Amino acid sequence: MTIYIVDIEPVETRYTAQWKEHLPKQLIKKTGRKVVTISGGNVPQMTTPGAFLNFAGTNVYKSAQAIKIAEKFAQNEIEDGDDFIFTDAWNSTVIQLKYMADLLQKKINIHGLWHAGSYDPADFLGRLIEDKRWTTNIERGMFFAYDYNYFATNFHIELFIKGLFGPPHDISYHREDVMKRIVRTGWPMEYLDETLEQYKRMPKKNIILFPHRMAPEKQPEIFRDLKDNMPQYEFIIAQERQLTKNEYHNLLGEAKLVFSANLQETLGISWYEGSLVDTIPMVPDRLSYSEMVLDEFKYDSELTSSMENYNIHHKEIAAKIVDYMENYEEYLPALARQRSILAKKFFSAEGLYATINDQVLIKGA
């Protein structure tokens, strides 16, 4: 039985390129099975401004994946017990896969890792698409096409359920029917600690880093205002420098603080990367952060819930930044505890591996 990875396109400046290299190795190690990646070929490395991917290029990539999957069915290469893992669940190719599997009576397992969608009002799909009748129904359809739907945080699970299955939607699905298809698991990023080894214990500078996309839901205008009013520190927006992955990690290793005022976050990878190189996170007590972050590194959500609220509370934000920067060493013991929690619970995909292995046992019983 084979595990097929239907991957998300590998952009070198994103973790997606790391997944292409490391995920097959981790799956082989954890399952002992043959692993095949179904790639969509070359992709544009420049993403749509503010977005995670290139909105046109991603459809070229996914369409090529659909052709390769169909060819494998046509050549009778797919066997009962095979697993398909979509590293981005928002991939309409799963509909074609489910169509072929059901009509050709192949007993496969389909897994999808959810990152975002129109069910999140702050996401690109949630903000830019006015008529969400089509996206909502497509997302529900993809959800039920997957045998197992994976989410990295409980916040994301509740956001997903509310957006697709809660009021005001008049649907017949009960919560228990939805929940049985959901698995809460950390993301498959066990490789990060070793990958960032060379950037640990770098000499720290008075750098405060904004590692997020330049998108409205990330509120970069708050960071820019802090920069204008706190000249004693160096405020850097990573995306404005067009950094390579190595250059970005060097900068992360030199920074003392990673700052977030995000209005959309279902996990957050950059601040975990920062914790691995002893860079303090400063994040609002909302979204996925609320369940992930120790109290030492959270601030009251109201302070940056909007630009208007930030203007009222900017002195409180500035004072907290000064505390982190001037008392950096004092926060390192708490940061070590934070790092351990994140590594075990949110950036290790044991839930995914266990689900795949359990299904092998059931199929072979």
Q: What pLDDT score does 322 carry?
A: 98
How many helices (H) does the chain have, and how many strands (E)?
Answer: 15, 11
Give the span between the Cα atoms of 45 and 52, in whole angstroms.
11
Residues 138, 39 share a domain:
yes
Query: How many residues does this entry show for the chain?
Result: 365
DSSP notation for 240-286: GGT--HHHHHHHHHH-SEEE---S--SS-SHHHHHHHTT-EEEEESS
Q: What pLDDT score does 176 carry?
A: 81
Helix axes 57-74, 93-103, angle to 10 degrees: 10
Tokens of 293: 């972050």
Q: Which residues of the chain have pLDDT under 70?
A: 13, 43-53, 170-173, 360-365
Q: What pLDDT score does 173 carry?
A: 65
Residues 11, 137 share a domain:
yes
Range of the domain at 31: 2-190+348-364
Q: What pLDDT score does 360 carry?
A: 65
User: Do 105 and 151 meet the contact criterion of CB atoms below 8 Å apart?
Assistant: no
Residues 229, 104 share a domain:
no
Tokens of 315: 């002195």
Torsion angle, alpha carbons of 238, 342, 149, 27, to 10: 90
In this structure, what CATH number is given to the domain that contains residue 76?
A: 3.40.50.2000
pLDDT tens track for 71-117: 999 999 999 999 999 999 999 999 999 999 999 999 999 999 999 99
Count of the separate structural domains present in the chain: 2
Q: H or E element: which one contains 111?
A: strand 109-113
pTM exceeding 0.85: yes
Residues 240, 170 share a domain:
no
Q: What pLDDT score does 365 carry?
A: 37
Residues 69, 169 share a domain:
yes
Q: What pLDDT score does 147 carry?
A: 96
* Closest to 314 in 3D by CA, of 306, 300, 303: 303
Q: What pLDDT score does 206 carry?
A: 98
Q: What pLDDT score does 175 carry?
A: 78
Residues 238, 132 share a domain:
no
Residues 197, 120 share a domain:
no
Q: What pLDDT score does 51 carry?
A: 47
Identify the DSSP state of 296: G
Residues 203, 150 share a domain:
no
Residues 269, 229 share a domain:
yes
Residues 323, 230 share a domain:
yes
- Rounded alpha-carbon distances, angstroms, from residue 230 to 154, 210, 319, 324: 36, 15, 10, 14
Residues 152, 168 share a domain:
yes
| Region of 32 on the Ramachandran plot (φ > 0 left; ψ -120 to 50 alpha; else beta) | left
Q: What pLDDT score does 166 carry?
A: 83
Residues 221, 153 share a domain:
no
- Measured on CA atoms in the order 121, 127, 129, 135, is the torsion positive or negative? negative
pLDDT tens track for 212-246: 989 999 999 999 999 999 999 999 999 999 898 89
